[in-house]
Structure 1
């Protein structure tokens, strides 16, 4: 059965090439495919665009602004579960809006990561998650099977809670199989449990033969600095006045060296999928700029592409009210001249 399945996948890939389909990198070539993602930003997870496009903050022009701002990809945060009916079918209008995002990002010259972001829903109701996540990828993966190589799939953001290592390894293998049935050569992004914690990379089990996987981790250390004042982050609501120091840079350097060693040993490319400092904490912007610059520099020194959290809402790098970049943060992320 394994041989037959491999023959089937090879046939699908061959047909795609004959039909002129721009697929992701050839199977077993994750690193070249991943190289297209260098400097990115997370977008539109919390935007009204998904429920009422007329109220959308994010507009078509922002794709071009992101590209001109020096970024080369977007990580699109998708809360798809709330757009499913009782049979777990995705709302056609929601899918049309997703088509628009993928199309317009591509026109602007941006790579796209489709990130299924229902991590809290999965932690709160694991049985439902085990039904909804496969249903999501059964619908979305075939829909974008003919998409260009610049589109990647991220199976689930930040699994945690009941999605412990064993449970997540089992579920992610199922999801990967669903994706591979229609996208045998697509770059797929998978991260470890405990909110994509780098310390859990050692628990992540990936199929040895599938080398077209980009492994992700998130990094918000020192947490008391990056999340001070955040009401949703445990006991951080009343924390204030925590200062950034170069000790934070040194910690990141050590932690990223650990990730890089794991990546080398496993022969896997790695993506820093999220980092940022909460912008509504009252923390002076020069402190946030110093943090952002340091983490970006250390990630790039370690050879990791990255995606900043996030475009707007909070942790923002774009100010919707002023219709422009928060330039000190953008410059910390993209230091070269535009």
Structure 2
């Protein structure tokens, strides 16, 4: 009788386990990059954040992005200007962010929350650090239960005062802030000097944290990609073309160097920004964009083009249409 009862109990437990939903599987950094695939930067300089009624970008554009062949949006957040004197994020701004995240997730897009205050952080690291720490404490808590398609990026393009040594120290301090509420969420971290590939070797990531994705940005040669850009006076000349065999080989060699680092450190790669400014000729811009995207894909990286709207544009908001040469370069069809 006792033996029969034990058998019944064991059978009942096994049936219950079989009927229970499988536990959520945490996504590895490598699998996250595979899921991220092709992406585009969005919303960095849109009026949406201060006055949604004035927004250029509409939430419906997430469907446009998904239907356009993209898998990811990298949402550029200038959060510092939406903090009070105690570094608390404005509830109205957070409400807008929630709507953005929900709309993107509804289209089955991966959403990268990229803290994009690289300017103030590079100019005044001492003032930046408490704000950046407060940002991740609040965002970590707010999105602790978000699906794994929400990914965090600690800081876009650390630069100037955030040199290699200082930035590595910050990474070691910021990650525990995130991990306190998001122990297995994948987090994107890039090297100092504007996420420059030449500084990747100096980037120090905690070996025990396997939920990290390394990112680099690629705009070389700057005299081509930033020609005519008013904010970059070192590249005033226009009429610079791109596409020779030597130029293509340089890109391949540069990407090979990143890939060698990725294999040596067992870290997946996101090419977080690339593109060529609107002052260049369209044929060269499209050739450059296509070459970078295909080189990244050939190495198994995810990528995010700079950017959907504003400049370097892939989508013309006024015409409500893709800039076809750039779109075709990114998503061949």
Instruction: List runs of 5+ in structure 1 lacking aligned partners.
Output: 1-17
Q: Quick check: 2:217–2:273 contact (8 Å CA) kept in 1?
A: yes
- In structure 2, the residue matched to 1:217 is 216
- In structure 2, the residue matched to 1:317 is 314
1:10-21 matches, cutoff 5 A: none
Distance across 2 between alignment mates of 1:110 and 1:320 = 20
Distance across 2 between alignment mates of 1:148 and 1:251 = 39
Q: Quick check: 2:273–2:306 contact (8 Å CA) kept in 1?
A: yes
Cα shift at 1:265: 0.5
Q: Quick check: 1:224–1:242 contact (8 Å CA) kept in 2?
A: yes
Cα shift at 1:23: 7.4
1:64-213 matches, cutoff 5 A: 64-213=63-212
Scaled by the length of structure 1, the TM-score of the pair is 0.90
Q: Quick check: 2:275–2:289 contact (8 Å CA) kept in 1?
A: yes
Cα shift at 1:33: 2.4
CA gap 1:174/1:52 in 2 versus in 1, 3 angstroms: same
1:330 paired to 2:317: no
Distance across 1 between alignment mates of 2:254 and 2:212 = 21
Q: CA RMSD in A?
A: 1.5
CA gap 1:175/1:21 in 2 versus in 1, 3 angstroms: farther
Q: Quick check: 1:22–1:148 contact (8 Å CA) kept in 2?
A: no
Cα shift at 1:243: 1.0
How many corresponding residue pairs? 313
Distance across 2 between alignment mates of 1:142 and 1:84 = 16
Moved more, 91-100 or 240-249: 240-249
Instruction: List runs of 5+ in structure 2 lacking aligned partners.
Output: 1-19
Distance across 2 between alignment mates of 1:262 and 1:320 = 38
Distance across 1 between alignment mates of 2:24 and 2:320 = 35
Distance across 1 between alignment mates of 2:91 and 2:22 = 27
- In structure 2, the residue matched to 1:11 is none
What stretches of structure 1 move > 6 A for 4+ residues in a row? Answer: 18-21
Cα shift at 1:19: 11
Distance across 2 between alignment mates of 1:230 and 1:57 = 22
1:249-288 matches, cutoff 5 A: 249-279=248-278, 281=279, 283-288=280-285
Cα shift at 1:170: 0.8
Distance across 2 between alignment mates of 1:262 and 1:181 = 29
CA gap 1:240/1:140 in 2 versus in 1, 3 angstroms: same
Distance across 2 between alignment mates of 1:189 and 1:93 = 26
Cα shift at 1:34: 2.4
CA gap 1:72/1:175 in 2 versus in 1, 3 angstroms: same
Q: Quick check: 1:34–1:187 contact (8 Å CA) kept in 2?
A: no
Cα shift at 1:103: 0.3
Q: Quick check: 1:23–1:148 contact (8 Å CA) kept in 2?
A: no
- In structure 1, the residue matched to 2:39 is 40
* Alpha-carbon displacement from aligned partner over 1:185-211 (angstroms, at most 9, x marks no partner): 000000000000111111111111111
Distance across 2 between alignment mates of 1:52 and 1:19 = 42
